[in-house]
Structure 1
Amino acid sequence: MKIGFMIIIAFILDLIFKDPKHIPHPVVMIGKIIKYGEISLRKIFRKGAVSETIAGTILTLFVIIISFIIPYIILSICYSINMILGISVEIFMCFQLLALGSLKEAAMKIYTELSTGSLNGARKNLTHIVGRDTENLDEKSVIKASVESVAENTSDGVIAPLFYMLIGGASFGMLYKAVNTLDSMIGYKNKKYQYFGKAAARLDDILNIIPARITGFLYVAAALLSGFNYKKSYAILIRDRWNHSSPNSGYPEAAMAGALGLQLGGPASYSGEIVDKKYIGDDDKEPNMEDIPKACMLMTIVSVLALILMILAKFAVLTIINYGL
């Protein structure tokens, strides 16, 4: 259970230090590889469904292989030198792969701006956690978008990295993060990336199948533990989990919508183009700025529950394997 101990330490470090700006982040480096890889491959492959799909698949495979091999080699060298050195470096890598602290910080900055009456400031901070256009959003829309992002990113930024790190350590966690970064950069269903980002988008969907569902049902449990409407959370999860373009994101968003009594989703503007998204949840009450810290609290509870349950599950599996129980 060495990896479980390391991830617990990494989890605590993430809550304390969040995302230190002065330390180079692996996602930034992965993003640069994707950016320059895309530029290079688009020069080699001409436009067209088949050629763009091939180019995007090559980029996807290259990025995930590099993202797995480099940390694997670094950790192998560190462990061969000294066990403590290896553990320390792996804890640091795991810490960088978790985003609970930074997600909470980003969402609470939006809340702080709203609480001081600065809607423009809230809109500006919202751009850090959503991909939609924010300049014309009213206060209610800013709140809804913030809650949606907290719910969706609980899976992508916390639960999924925990899941894959517990399976295969920091190297597996980095592999997942590479796929997730690829999806966030080229996995769009627009004219530019419809074919080029197809492989990245599909792989991201596959890797998030289990984590997203874990996240959704843990939101119901978190609602129960924190006094929110867990019955409504479960009901909306079951009813609206498919009301999202992603096969996975609807699970945490629906559970969050039910717990807070909000209606999320609906039409949104992306790069000046209105996307007609389905609604998730019932319009039980008007969005209130206090929904943002409530969402952050639920996210934290979900993350702690996931950490505990995943470590216990791994311990149980290892016990069965080792003792044949």
Structure 2
Amino acid sequence: MLASWSVEHRPLGSGGLHVSEVTYGNWLTHGELVEREAALACVRAALDAGITTFDTADVYAQGAAEELLGGALRGVRRESVEVATKVCLPTGEGPNDRGLSRKHIMESCHASLRRLGTDYVDLYQAHRFDDRTPLEETLLAFDDLVRQGKVLYLGVSEWTAGQIREALDLADQLGLPRRIVSNQPQYNMLWRVIEPEVLPLCQREGIGQLIFQPLAQGVLTGKYRPGEQPPDGSRAASGGRAPRFIGRVLGDRLLDRVQQLRPLADAAGLSMAQLAIAWTLSRDGVSSAIIGASRPEQVSENATAAGIRLDASLLAQIDDLLGDLIDRDPAKTAQMMSVKPEWAQPAWPNPSLR
């Protein structure tokens, strides 16, 4: 059963699609770190909280995440949820098992629909920019999927402002409707590289932001403390790929500063996680923040960040406290997969999947 809209909804950009302020995503959880029953319980908790938007990708757990999400949503009225997935990153060893060619887009979309158990996805996103494929080929393939009714809206993820601008201009030249309604970037209190260029462009063009990592891999929850081992049960202490992603933000200098956010959260009557998510949702141009979870109670707690409004003085205190640890370098939008922030310790590895 869906809740009676306890989570508020926002338009995704200037289009007609509305998404829940908090989106449930299953990167690094479903099919990897979380057992099937726990994953199903998390989806049920999301629905109970009023979350209607669910984000996944063909590459997450090599398709297992899509399959699990599709199974979890079976029996839910299809029209009452918004399902988003992605295409571009490698799903196999072959040269055509990646990228944004017509071949891979068409094959990947059909495979995603089968795994999700649906006739269409609400939002289909280009997981990265593909400089090996002519952009015209990519845009026409996406447009065909929309015309076929297999995709309702289109988005991109971690594209630079220049790449988004190029796609919009080319769509105009080709006489295509401007179907890109969303961008999915990493964005949080610490990582603000989209602010100088991507956000202003998207706001002018009516493209909404579907944010991932609002909690900076859990670091902004305050559960990782300087000089201490990661707590049992956390992603950083788990097996699989999670520790190498989280290791990029576990420097003691950063963790010490994050702990100083706790009195601000306490004064506002919020948990650290709620503060971080509410901060993301307070930014202009943001339509929704994606959360992941390994336990249903995490979903329930984080979902309550929807609807929380932070006052200007609290936002200013956060900026003052984090100060020189905030990264706003727009060049790192394109380099996000390999750049090591000044505060990362140990060195930021090269995550190939997100």
Task: Normalising by structure 1, report the TM-score.
Answer: 0.28
Which structure has greater strand proportion? Answer: 2
Task: Normalising by structure 2, report the TM-score.
Answer: 0.26
Give 1 or 2 for the bigger CA radius of gyration.
Answer: 1
